[in-house]
Homo-oligomer: A and B are copies of this chain.
Amino acid sequence: MSKTDPLIIFTPSGKRGHFPVGTPILDAARELGVYVESVCGGRGICGRCQVAPEFGHFAKHKIESKADAVSDWTAKEARYTDKRGDLPEGRRLSCSATIQGPLVVDIPADTVVNQQTIRKAVDTRDIHRNPAIQMCYVEVEEPDMHKPLGDLDRLKLQLEEEWGFADLLVDQQVMPQVQKILRKGDWAVTAAIHQDLETSRPTLVALYPGLKNEAYGIACDIGSTTIAMHLSSLLSGRTLASAGTSNPQIRFGEDVMSRVSYVMMNPDGQEAMTKAVRKAVNDLIGQVCADADIDREDILDSVFVGNPIMHHLFLGIDPTELGGAPFALAVSGAVHTWATEIGLEMNAGTRVYIIPCIAGHVGADAAAATLSEAPHKGEGLSLMVDVGTNAEIVLGSKAHTLACSSPTGPAFEGAEISCGQRAAPGAIERVRIDPVTLEPRIRVIGAEMWSDEEGFEEAVAGTGITGICGSGIIEVIAEMYLAGIIDEDGVISSSGTARNPRIFEDKRTFSYKLWETASGPDITITQTDVRAIQMAKAALYAGVKLLMEKLDTTTVDRISLAGAFGTFIDPKHALVLGLIPDCEVENVSAVGNAAGTGARMALLNRDHRREIEETVRNIEKIETALEPKFQEHFVNAMAFPNKVEKFPKLEQSVTLPPKRAAKDDNGDGNPSGAPRRRGGRRRAA
């Protein structure tokens, strides 16, 4: 590299350097540490090294990238496209195209080849790749009596010479296959090399005859309720299939603490649950492979996340210690293991990486959601809330990040609500209440329209209207509050009965009849339901508030709602309820399974693994059970949106009901209507 040579700049990384005219773009990328895939080692046959030269004046980079700054279409590229079909528009093979002048080159996140079937997956975020698996094509010298080096040893030499893998380890299961594969491939083979940490030795984990131009990985989030899995191409980065299934451990206990109790009371309980979750994961692998029409043997890497108890049970670790103080994790750091070691059915060389847990109640799922939402990377203050049975809360910025968990209970998932149910067809997911008539409009999962639109009856005829799911509960209670059906303390007021007969006396309290169903019972919101949501949201808010106090802040700049809320929770309603602190509505987003996205990031790019390991080490962990102010924050947060906190940003777009005058608070001496106990974390006995 000399300063007089043309400058090349790679985006999005911004890495740059000077290279002599005629240097292949791939070589320049490698020298600068820019990750560009290449399976064939620059022979122009795998098509994986494609890049997109960018032309024009780039003020930011102070560079003019002209059309002739890259070589003309090469013979190698012509041969490739003749055989394999066109490259995507604007793409070049970086092993063949050479630098001719100052140049900007974009590294696309997606390098699909072979016209592979493109499926629309739920999770479409582009992730730049630097996977732990590298596919390396080599041509090996044939054996020679004068040089009696073993076949494997000659393969290793070639991998060292062409790919720089010195000191390669070899998985035992590869050894018996080496000779047959080399001969089948006529001495040309593709080696799958695994290297995660820089300090670990690269390892030959699988071997294929000829050019093997594909390798897959799975990213899996093991939730207490649902297990979600993505199947990705490690070479193109593309998500090829996504699937989910119920966690079969539910039959041992609905929530994590009842599962810990099950282990404590049954000698084989842990083994049974470990077996159950691993079987479910194996079944899901089968499902995503069938969906994408690939062989599970071609899965070579995997990443798993889960809350601490799911994490331990998956690894075969007794979770009993997590059932009581001091909630000691057996292992909090990242786990590197083998699929075969934990009974997973993929390739015999497949590795498993498990993202670290943050604390005894803040698991690898929260860490993965942190990786995805990156509260630890922003300039401003970001809040990430991942809601399952516990809420896992991460608040911070580049400067400092905190995490805690808060015992919301399962109300947000529709449990402990009289008409609650899981998000499934037939569940009410959205609600609007007319503030004048108090009449509701609803939307139901599985139907495309609101209940006041034409065709609604027909649309729900198949599923019926069976209950209300988490996001529906949030909305209905927020709407009831906005319509004045419930007051700021969460009391369904008797005065409502005069406004609309949907409000009716129900034993000693009042209820709101949201929907009359044709066959089943009515969908009714009771005072107890409101209390359950108040408790859950107060616990969540109190946890957030604790972290805000630790950071000495009263506002946050950005909020991500992940987990059970799915992508369907309406940020405005969450703010109206006071579930989360005041924020610009447009800066609140529901991000769905952020843990799954984080797992996929760790799968596709080992830099993300190092990033989250470092982040978890640096996150300050707050144990809410040890914080005396939690109770006070909890009591204040029982009110809608909050007894003491202001929501001025929310009030710019929503008119909140007027606050009751302070004197009223002295009426019954229990202003919040909340039970005077801490919404304590439920523990196994």
Q: Interface residues, chain A, CB within 8 Å of chain B?
A: 143-153, 156, 167, 169-170, 172-173, 175-176, 178-180, 197, 199-201, 315-318, 321, 325-333, 335-338, 341-342, 357-360, 362, 621, 623, 625-626
Q: Roughly how many angstroms separate A43 CA and B330 CA in the complex, as a whole number?
A: 27
Q: Residue A330 contacts which of B144, B175, B330 (CB distance < 8 angstroms)?
A: B175
CB nearest neighbor in B for A329: B150
Closest 4 CB pairs of A and B: A150-B332, A148-B359, A143-B328, A150-B329
A172 touches B625 (CB 8 A): no
Q: Roughly how many angstroms separate A327 CA and B146 CA in the complex, as a whole number?
A: 11
B332 touches A153 (CB 8 A): yes
Q: Roughly how many angstroms separate A147 CA and B623 CA in the complex, as a whole number?
A: 9
Q: Residue A152 contacts which of B143, B199, B330, B359 (CB distance < 8 angstroms)?
A: B330
A146 touches B623 (CB 8 A): yes
Q: Residue A150 contacts which of B144, B169, B331, B621 (CB distance < 8 angstroms)?
A: B331
A626 touches B145 (CB 8 A): yes
CB nearest neighbor in B for A200: B201
Q: Taking the nearest CB of chain B, how far is it from the CB of A385, in angstroms?
A: 19
Q: A333-B153, A336-B169, A337-B172 are in contact. Are A148 and B197 (CB under 8 A)?
A: no
Q: Roughly how many angstroms separate A586 CA and B362 CA in the complex, as a whole number?
A: 74
Q: Roughly how many angstroms separate A199 CA and B199 CA in the complex, as a whole number?
A: 8
Residues of B within 8 A of A325 (CB): 145
B315 touches A148 (CB 8 A): no
CB nearest neighbor in B for A362: B148
B333 touches A150 (CB 8 A): yes
Residues of B within 8 A of A360 (CB): 145, 148
Q: Roughly how many angstroms separate A399 CA and B150 CA in the complex, as a whole number?
A: 25
Q: Roughly how many angstroms separate A316 CA and B171 CA in the complex, as a whole number?
A: 13
Q: A176-B315, A626-B145 are in contact. Are A167 and B197 (CB under 8 A)?
A: yes
Residues of B within 8 A of A167 (CB): 197, 199
Residues of B within 8 A of A145 (CB): 325-327, 360, 623, 625-626
Residues of B within 8 A of A169 (CB): 200, 336
CB nearest neighbor in B for A617: B149
CB nearest neighbor in B for A270: B176
A179 touches B321 (CB 8 A): yes
From A143, A176, A337, name the one whose CB has the most chain B CB atoms within 10 angstroms: A176
Q: A172-B337, A172-B342, A176-B315 are in contact. Are A199 and B201 (CB under 8 A)?
A: yes
A330 touches B148 (CB 8 A): no
Q: Taking the nearest CB of chain B, how far is it from the CB of A228, in angstroms?
A: 24
A143 touches B331 (CB 8 A): no
19 contacts between A and B (CB under 8 A): A145-B325, A145-B326, A148-B332, A148-B358, A148-B621, A149-B329, A151-B328, A167-B199, A169-B200, A169-B336, A172-B335, A175-B316, A175-B317, A176-B317, A176-B318, A179-B321, A179-B328, A200-B201, A201-B201
Q: Taking the nearest CB of chain B, how far is it from the CB of A601, in angstroms?
A: 23
Residues of B within 8 A of A179 (CB): 317-318, 321, 328, 330
From A201, A329, A337, A360, name the one whose CB has the most chain B CB atoms within 10 angstroms: A329
CB nearest neighbor in B for A352: B172
CB nearest neighbor in B for A143: B328
Residues of B within 8 A of A626 (CB): 145-146
Q: Taking the nearest CB of chain B, how far is it from the CB of A162, in angstroms?
A: 18
B144 touches A326 (CB 8 A): yes
Residues of B within 8 A of A149 (CB): 329, 332
Residues of B within 8 A of A153 (CB): 329, 331-333
Q: Roughly how many angstroms separate A330 CA and B327 CA in the complex, as a whole number?
A: 50
B625 touches A329 (CB 8 A): no
* Other contacts beyond A170-B331, A178-B331, A201-B201: 13, CB < 8 A: A145-B326, A145-B623, A148-B621, A152-B330, A152-B331, A153-B331, A153-B333, A172-B335, A173-B341, A175-B315, A175-B316, A176-B330, A179-B321
A175 touches B359 (CB 8 A): no
From A150, A328, A338, name the one whose CB has the most chain B CB atoms within 10 angstroms: A150
B156 touches A333 (CB 8 A): yes
Q: A318-B179, A326-B144 are in contact. Are A151 and B331 (CB under 8 A)?
A: yes
Q: Residue A326 contacts which of B143, B173, B200 (CB distance < 8 angstroms)?
A: B143
Q: A145-B326, A328-B143 are in contact. Are A175 and B318 (CB under 8 A)?
A: no
Residues of B within 8 A of A316 (CB): 175-176
Q: Taking the nearest CB of chain B, how far is it from the CB of A569, in angstroms?
A: 29
